[in-house]
Structure 1
C-alpha cells in the first residue's frame, strides 16, 4: 500500500498526543475510516491524506464535503448510535517519507 507510511506517521503523531488506537482501515458501507481512535471519552475518526506534490491537488483539497459526510455516516455506523461524543479529524502529510511536513486538523 503506497500510503502506509503516511498512516503509520499519522498514527504515531496521534498516539504521542495521548490518543488510543481502536482500529485502522475500518470499512463501512459508507467508506473507510483510516484511523479509529479515542481521545478521552471522545471517539475520533481520522482521515489521513498524503500528497508528494500538488500535481493532483493538495491533501486539504481532497477533504471534500462528500468525504466529510461519508466519514460522519461511517462513524454512526460503527457506533450504532449517536449519543456519544464524536470528533472528525484529518492528518495531512505533504512530501515523502524522507522529507515531509504534517498538519493535524479538527474538522468540527
Structure 2
C-alpha cells in the first residue's frame, strides 16, 4: 500500500467517524450547520447549533487509548488554531452569535464506538 493510499484511507475513516459523531450529536439535540469547513487558519470538523449557541466541535478518534486518550490531542496549540478558524468562519459568514468549543473523543472500531462529549472544553480568550 502506498503512502498516498494510506493517507486517503485514513482521511476517509476520519470523515466517516465525523459523520457518525454528527449523527450522534443530533440524537443529543444539536442541529447540524456545517461540517469540514476549511477556512484560513485551519479546519472545523463540525459546526452545530445548541439552542441559541453556535458550537464548534472538534472530533478526535482513537481505536484504543493505548497510545493516549483522544482528548490529549487537543493541545493548547490545536485550541488556538480552532479559535482562529472559528473567527474566520464567523467573519466569512457574517455570524454574530454566542459560541462554544466542544470536543468529542471517540474510541473504538466501527460499529462499536464510544463517545465522550466535553461541552465548553475550552474558551476563546
> TM-score, normalized by length of structure 1?
0.89
Which structure's CA Rg is the greater one? 2
- The question of whether the paired residues in 1 share the 8 Å contact of 2:34 and 2:46 is answered with yes
Shift of residue 51 of structure 1?
0.5
Check if 1:2 corresponds to 2:2: no
When you count helix as a share of all residues, which structure comes out higher?
2
SS in 2 for 1:46: strand
Look up the match of 2:103. 90
Instruction: Using the TM superposition, name which of 82-91 and 92-101 deviates more.
Output: 82-91
Q: Give 4+ residue runs of structure 1 displaced > 3 Å after superposition.
A: none
Instruction: Using the TM superposition, name which of 38-47 and 49-58 deviates more.
Output: 49-58
In structure 1, what is the Cα distance between the partners aligned to 2:77 and 2:69? 16
CA RMSD after TM alignment:
1.7
**Any unmatched runs of 5+ in structure 2?**
1-11
Look up the match of 2:36. 25
**Any unmatched runs of 5+ in structure 1?**
none
Cα 1:93–1:26 change in 2 (3 A) is same
> TM-score, normalized by length of structure 2?
0.78
Shift of residue 86 of structure 1?
0.4
- The question of whether the paired residues in 1 share the 8 Å contact of 2:61 and 2:106 is answered with yes
Look up the match of 2:47. 36
- Quick one: which of 85, 90, 112 aligns to 1:79? 90
Shift of residue 4 of structure 1?
2.5
